[in-house]
Amino acid sequence: MKADKDKCIACKRCFPYCPMGRIQSYHRHETIPGRVYIDIDQDACTDCGMCLRAKICPVNALFQPEEPWPREVRGVLSNPMIEFMGSQTPGRGTEEMKTNDVKGTFLPGEVGVGIELGRPGVGAYFRDVETVAMALMKANLGYELAAENPVTHFMSDKKTGKLRDDVVNEKATSAIIEGKCKLEKLPEVLKVLQEVAKTLDTVFTLEVITKVPPEGEVPIVPVFKKLGMWHSINSKNNMGLGEPHFKFYEDEK
């Protein structure tokens, strides 16, 4: 995102809308006497588009230039209005895990594991995303990367989790590594993530999903309890708007 210095009047109205915090700096206009404008830190900005979508600039100074590769990946991962052509999924290129009841991505005995690196105010560089992906793949625990995911798409080697060299210094408000493993491998996967978390220059949220069997016991809860790890039982449910393609258990209608 950029601000046109010939239009901007440094009113600061766009500041509170920026999830990356105070990334704007003031400058005196070189040719217009008394005019001060703001400049947006291009390294910190993730091209999320929030400031522009808020439509609060009184002089229409904000504009999003068409960004060349590799900077283009910032908007793909951070701006929910951009459709990622790799998966043709709007909203940052992934449906995450919430359509499992329709798609049957995670079958009984399998666990979906998503690692969402970065948050508003922090963001995540892809070099950190790569560090986590490579640690998971190196551990050889059968972690299977989701094919229809932008982070997977930006990998140069899906066996090792290595990202393309030209994207590692790009940044997103957040980026999600998505995949799945067998339930019995989950404790080891969690330990790998605990270790790699110490090396990162950002934060991540861990998302873990299983199909709940007819008996109603959530299979991943005992795993977290045994490891002494805190977990929150949240859910993003598909409320029947899609026709399930899968019959997970014999007694399901």
Q: In the window 37-76, what residues touch ligand SF4 (CB under 6 A)?
A: 38, 40, 45-51, 56-57, 59, 61-62
Task: Tell the smallest beta-carbon distance from residue 34 to ligand SF4 (Å).
Answer: 15
46 vs 149 by CB, closer to ligand SF4: 46
Chain Cα centroid distance, residue 191 = 21
Asked if 117 contacts 175 with a C-beta cutoff of 8 angstroms, the reply is yes
Alpha-carbon distance of 71 to 65, in angstroms, equals 11
- Residue with smaller CB distance to ligand SF4, 22 or 198: 22
Tokens of 46: 């993730």
Q: Does the protein bind ligand SF4 through residue 113 (CB under 6 A)? A: no
| Interface with ligand SF4, residue 9, by CB under 6 A | yes
With CB under 6 A as the contact rule, the residue among 6, 16, 17, 137 that binds ligand SF4 is: 17
Under a CB-based contact definition with an 8 Å cutoff, are residues 139 and 212 in contact?
no
Local structure of 147: helix, strand or coil = coil
Could you give the angle at the alpha carbon of 130 between the alpha carbons of 179 and 161, nearest 5°?
A: 55
**Does 167 engage in binding with ligand SF4 (CB under 6 A)?**
no
| Contact between residue 245 and residue 102 where contact means Cβ atoms under 8 Å apart | yes
- Please return the burial class of 25, using the count of CB atoms within 10 Å of its CB with bins 0-12, 13-18 and 19+: exposed
Q: Is residue 36 near ligand SF4 by the rule CB under 6 A?
A: no
Q: Applying CB under 6 A, which of residues 11, 183, 206, 229 lies at the interface with ligand SF4?
A: 11
Please identify, using beta-carbon distances, which residue of 18 and 113 lies nearer to ligand SF4.
Answer: 18
By CB under 6 A, which span of 5-13, 142-150, 175-183, 201-209 interacts with ligand SF4? Answer: 5-13
Rounded to 10°, the helix 186-197/126-138 angle is 140
Closest distance to ligand SF4 from the beta carbon of 68 (Å): 17
The yes or no reply on residue 124 touching ligand SF4 (CB under 6 A) is no
Strands 175-182 and 171-172: unpaired
Please state the closest distance from residue 37 (CB atom) to ligand SF4, in A. Answer: 7
Q: Rule CB under 6 A: which residues touch ligand SF4?
A: 1, 3, 8-14, 17-18, 20, 23, 38, 40, 45-51, 56-57, 59, 61-62
